[in-house]
Chains A and B, each alone.
Chain A
């Protein structure tokens, strides 16, 4: 018996496909698109055959399906998460820059609070080990500042934390595995 597919059925199928797609960002782009298309096509065929509810029930949750697809692509070995690493790289940069910026601003505000008409040059050595010296130059209470950049240690911590959060060290065994199995 053939079931007709209305727009609500299409939406339900697209919801699962979209949800699956969101969990497959670690796949190569081509493979992710191909998987998305194939799952959608199979779901539509199944929905015409047995109905949308049964088709969605039979395919299971998007989480489980994504896990199976990732295991199919990368094997059962532990793998890095490029998505998490990229997110941390971006958010870490924003948060850390905001933190150091606020610390430097607080120093400038402190000088102005002590003397609203201050003139002169003031140095703040920054957050120890993480930030370069910040130099404030005030003329009649109006100031400009230079410095306050990340130190090499701050950059190293940022990169190191990204590797830890994204479990990027797992790239090495994956790379070795790929080169030991040229057919794959």
Chain B
């Protein structure tokens, strides 16, 4: 069974992950969901991803185009804009810094009992 993740934590980094995935490969909504699941984020649902893509589009971080599909109606493919790529670079640096700091704190050995305040 895949591990579950804190939804609030996921929501905070979802934008970053979406920009990264779309920078790797232009994708439509359901394909993005499949790629998230393939990356191990199996608890991210479609109902969260589709509006997040809309938000990114409204913010000008991704652009969308319709591509006709053999399987049915045209699909809306997303790719990052230059502003989206810049946001991805900044977000990635911030995330790496946060992981380093939080990781260092969480790696500290714990005392057998919490030290009492003086």
A residues near B (Cβ < 8 Å) are 34-35, 37-42, 44-46, 48-49, 55, 58-61, 64-65, 68-69, 71-73, 183-184
Contact = CB atoms under 8 A, between A and B. Distances in A.
A165 B59 CA distance: 30
A41 B45 CA distance: 16
Given A49-B30, A72-B55, A73-B58, A38 B46 contact: no
Given A42-B28, A58-B46, A59-B47, A35 B54 contact: yes
Contacts of A45: 28, 30, 71-72, 75
Contacts of B90: none
A42 B52 contact: no
Contact of B73 (A40, A59, A64): A40
Interface residues of B, number: 25
Contacts of A59: 45-47, 50
Interface of B: 28-30, 33-34, 45-48, 50-52, 54-55, 58-60, 69, 71-76, 83
A37 B33 CA distance: 17
A interface: dominant SS: helix
Q: List 3 tightest A-B contacts by C-beta distance, closest first.
A: A60-B47, A68-B51, A72-B55
Given A184-B58, A184-B60, A72 B76 contact: no
A65 B47 contact: yes
Contacts, number: 76
Nearest to A40: B73
Of the candidates A40, A59, A60, the one having the most CB atoms from chain B within 10 angstroms of its own CB is: A59
Contacts of A61: 47
Contacts of B28: 41-42, 45
Given A41-B72, A45-B72, A184-B59, A72 B47 contact: no
Contact of A68 (B47, B59, B83): B47
B94 to A, nearest CB: 20
A46 B29 CA distance: 10
Given A35-B54, A60-B47, 19 more contacts: A37-B76, A41-B28, A41-B74, A41-B75, A42-B28, A44-B72, A45-B28, A49-B30, A55-B46, A58-B33, A58-B45, A59-B46, A60-B45, A71-B55, A73-B54, A73-B55, A183-B59, A183-B60, A184-B60
Nearest to B34: A49
A60 B33 CA distance: 14
Contacts of B30: 42, 45-46, 49
A184 B45 CA distance: 26
